[in-house]
Structure formats: C-alpha cells, structure tokens
C-alpha cells in the first residue's frame, strides 16, 4: 500500500501497519527527512540555476516530467508542519531530525548568497523546532562553498539556535567535501554534533539519464565516492571523533569495504595519505535504514554493527520508505534490544536527545 499525501497522491514507500503507533514500544527517531522553504528559492531567482544540479541536468524528459508532478504532490508535505505531524503519527515516528531538501544546498552560489540562503532555511527550521520541541530537532544547512562562512553558520545554529547537527551534500558543485575544508571538519568535531550526508544525483551522470538512474544508481554512487575521499584523503583519521551518518544505507561502499582494503594493501597510490586500513575509518560511520530490503539491512548490520544503524524515511519523496517500525520490527534476526537501538536509541545518542520521561513521553 502506498503512503499518500492528501488527495491520494502517491509518495512512495509503505503505510505503517500500525496506525497511531506513536508512543508504543520503542521510540522511533527519523534522521532522514526533508523540509523545503520556498522563500529561499525566490531570493536567488536568476542567480541559482537548479536545472544545472546533477539530479536535474542528467535526467530524461520523462524523469523531469515525473519530478515536476512529484514536487506538486509533495509540496504540502515539505512545507506544512501540520501535515508532517499527521504523517509522523501515521508512521509511528516520535521525533524527526529535520533538514533542508538537497535542492536547497545551493553550493554553486557565490559565498554571500550562500550564506544568506542558508541562514533563511535555518531560521525556518528553528521556528518549526521552537513550536514543536517535543517532535523535532534540526540539522543546519551551511554554505560549504565558503568554509569560513560554513563554520560561522554552524556555530550560530548550534550555539544560538540549539541545532543538534548539520546536513551536507556529497560534493560542493563538483568539488570534494574532503578537500580544503578541514576548518569545517575541525569545528564539527569541536562542537561534537552529528553530520548527515545526503547526495543530489551523480556529478558525472551522462550515462544515468534514463530510467531515473541519476537517483536510483547515482545517489548512492555519489555517496560512495564522497565516502571514499573522506577515507583516503585522511579526514576520518585526522578527525576521529566525527559522527557522520551516510544516507541510503551508506551507498555502495558500506557493502563492499574489502575492495578498499585490498587496494590499500596492493598499491602505493592508495596509501599516499591514509595510514591505516580503510575499514578502520569506515567503521566510524553510521548508516540509515533506507535499503528497502531486510537482507540488505542484515548485511549492513553484520559489517558495521547494530550500534551504527539509524532510522531514515527520506520523507516525503517517492524514493523513501514510510514504515520504519514495520521494517525494523520485521527483522527476525534482531533481538528486541537491537531493534530499540536502530529505531531510536542510536539516533538519540548522536543527537543528544533526553531519555523518555514518565509514561514514555519524549
């Protein structure tokens, strides 16, 4: 059954089998869910060209038409807090760590424009959290094209607005997030906040235009490349206390670490920076549950441990999965205590959420 917005508009995923599941059993915390703020788009009209983003640039006409229809369908879910709360109750999600949609990273903008749009989107997230502090925490949007400005915006969001982390893309207008941004990574580590890393298509996506491959294959592929650079450029060795959650189950690299270990052992050009086996850096990462298949989830858990898996829904897009409780509870290979970790305890630790109060209230 499709989970739908008002008017029976399909958004993808599945409706939770347990209506009104909120508050039952283990707390569910969703770290992968998006908010869109239209005034930020209006501000940069003429200077920001969303059609040049990989997700749009490398799409067939059929995909572009489908995307336009989807945006019409999900606009209310991206912008209405009331609709979001109703959907959260249906899914059995107590708390969302809200972040902007990847279309509002806007890393191609000049630094000052990027700083302004990031601040607008962050103030919007802060307002949502302020009105519903028991249901939401926020992840900052920062202008990574300007590392100094990104550091300033992150510090403002964490220290002034009370944000619990930051969302970043997997590349900055084609540049690697692992290069020239150590001051940003240092600030993230110093503030001890969670990073949520989300792609927006694949930068070299000419071959991925048909069949929505730019998302189905390209999104996890861009995450894979970004993670590879974070490992082999030594970011995860220089900043060992970083807490990075990689969307969509970590892409492909999280399921194939042995090849990275092999190349590190076999070739000098793979050991120019990173000092230890790549697997040791990969083991510091966290991954969400957007893998659509319980055997995929089992493989992820077997490789990295149940403590490194958190719930994601990708709300409200059609590539999301909207029965997080049913998905995790249906994993017969998991103990109840492990289900509790995946559903909420792991995310609560990363986001520094307070334990439940009397009667199970957040």
Task: Give the domain ranges of the chain.
Answer: 25-351
pLDDT band at 1 (very low <50, low <70, confident <90, very high): very low
End-to-end CA distance of the chain: 29
Give me 10's structure tokens.
């399909």
pLDDT at 96: 98
Share above pLDDT 70 across residues of the chain, in percent, rounded to a whole number: 88
174 Cβ contact list (under 8 Å, min separation 6): 203
9 pLDDT higher than 50: no
pLDDT at 8: 33
* Residues forming a β-bridge with 4: 10
pLDDT at 72: 80
Integer-rounded Cα radius of gyration of the chain = 19
pLDDT at 57: 66
197 pLDDT higher than 50: yes
Q: How many C-beta atoms lie closer than 10 Å to residue 270's C-beta?
A: 16
* Average pLDDT across the chain, whole number: 89
Instruction: Classify residue 227 as exposed, middle or buried by CB count within 10 Å of its CB (0-12, 13-18, 19+).
Output: buried
193 pLDDT higher than 70: yes
Q: What is the mean pLDDT of residues 71-95?
A: 93
Cis peptide before 316 (omega within 30 of 0): yes
Q: φ and ψ at 251, to 5 degrees?
A: 70, -150
91 Cβ contact list (under 8 Å, min separation 6): 3, 16, 21, 28, 30, 313, 315, 322, 323, 324, 325
Q: What is the mean pLDDT of residues 83-108?
A: 96
pLDDT at 354: 85
The CATH superfamily holding the domain 25-351 is Metal-dependent hydrolases (3.20.20.140)
pTM: 0.90
Q: φ and ψ at 170, to 5 degrees?
A: -95, -5
pLDDT at 17: 43
Distance, CA of 73 to CA of 67 (rounded, Å): 10
Dihedral sign (CA 169, 173, 175, 179): negative
Position of tokens 């909420």? 344
Higher pLDDT, 361 or 154: 154
Host H or E run for residue 53: none
pLDDT at 59: 67
pLDDT at 355: 77
Distance, CA of 344 to CA of 207 (rounded, Å): 38
Contact indicator for 137, 353 with CB cutoff of 8 Å: yes
190 Cβ contact list (under 8 Å, min separation 6): none
pLDDT at 202: 84
pLDDT at 7: 35
pLDDT at 356: 66
pLDDT at 236: 98
pLDDT band at 68 (very low <50, low <70, confident <90, very high): confident
pLDDT at 50: 63
Share above pLDDT 90 across residues of the chain, in percent, rounded to a whole number: 77
350 pLDDT higher than 70: yes
Q: What is the mean pLDDT of residues 106-119?
A: 94
Q: What is the mean pLDDT of residues 120-130?
A: 98
pLDDT tens per residue across span 200-223: 888 887 888 999 899 999 999 999
CA distances to 202, 217, 219, 227, 254 from 224, in Å: 10, 11, 9, 5, 8
CA distances to 82, 92, 300 from 85, in Å: 5, 10, 30
pLDDT band at 48 (very low <50, low <70, confident <90, very high): low
360 pLDDT higher than 70: no
Please choose, from the candidates 149, 148, 147, the residue with its C-alpha nearest in 3D space to the C-alpha of residue 115: 149
């Amino acid at each position: 059954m499709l989970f739908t917005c008002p008017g029976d508009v399909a958004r993808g995923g599945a409706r939770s089998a347990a209506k009104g599941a909120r508050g039952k059993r283990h707390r569910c915390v969703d770290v992968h869910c998006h908010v869109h703020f239209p005034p930020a788009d209006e501000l940069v009209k003429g200077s920001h060209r969303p059609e040049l983003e990989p997700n749009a640039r490398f799409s067939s006409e059929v995909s572009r038409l489908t995307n336009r229809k989807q945006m019409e369908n999900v606009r209310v879910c991206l912008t209405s807090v009331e609709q979001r709360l109703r959907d959260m109750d249906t899914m059995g999600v107590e708390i969302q760590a809200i972040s902007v949609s990847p279309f509002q990273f806007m890393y191609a903008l000049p630094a000052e424009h990027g700083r302004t749009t990031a601040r607008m989107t962050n103030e919007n997230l802060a307002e949502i959290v302020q009105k519903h502090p028991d249901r939401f925490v926020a992840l900052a949007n920062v202008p990574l094209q300007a590392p100094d400005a990104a550091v300033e915006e992150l510090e403002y969001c964490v220290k002034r607005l009370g944000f619990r982390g930051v969302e970043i893309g997997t590349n900055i207008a084609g540049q690697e997030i692992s290069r020239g941004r150590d001051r940003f990574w240092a600030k993230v580590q110093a503030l001890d906040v969670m990073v949520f890393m989300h792609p927006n298509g694949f930068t070299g996506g000419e071959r991925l235009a048909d069949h929505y491959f730019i998302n189905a294959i390209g999104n996890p592929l861009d995450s894979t490349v970004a993670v590879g650079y974070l490992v082999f450029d030594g970011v995860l060795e220089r900043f060992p206390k970083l807490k990075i959650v990689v969307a969509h189950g970590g892409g492909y690299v999280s399921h194939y670490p042995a090849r990275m270990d092999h190349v590190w052992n076999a070739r000098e050009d793979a050991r120019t920076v990173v000092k230890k086996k790549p697997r040791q850096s990969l083991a510091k990462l966290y991954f969400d549950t957007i893998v659509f298949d319980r055997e995929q989830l089992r493989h992820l858990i077997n490789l990295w441990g149940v403590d490194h898996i958190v719930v994601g829904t990708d709300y409200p897009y059609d590539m999301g999965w909207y029965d997080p409780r049913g998905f995790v509870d249906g994993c017969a290979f998991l103990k109840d205590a492990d289900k509790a970790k995946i559903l909420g305890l792991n995310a609560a630790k990363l986001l520094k959420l307070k334990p439940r109060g009397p009667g199970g209230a957040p």
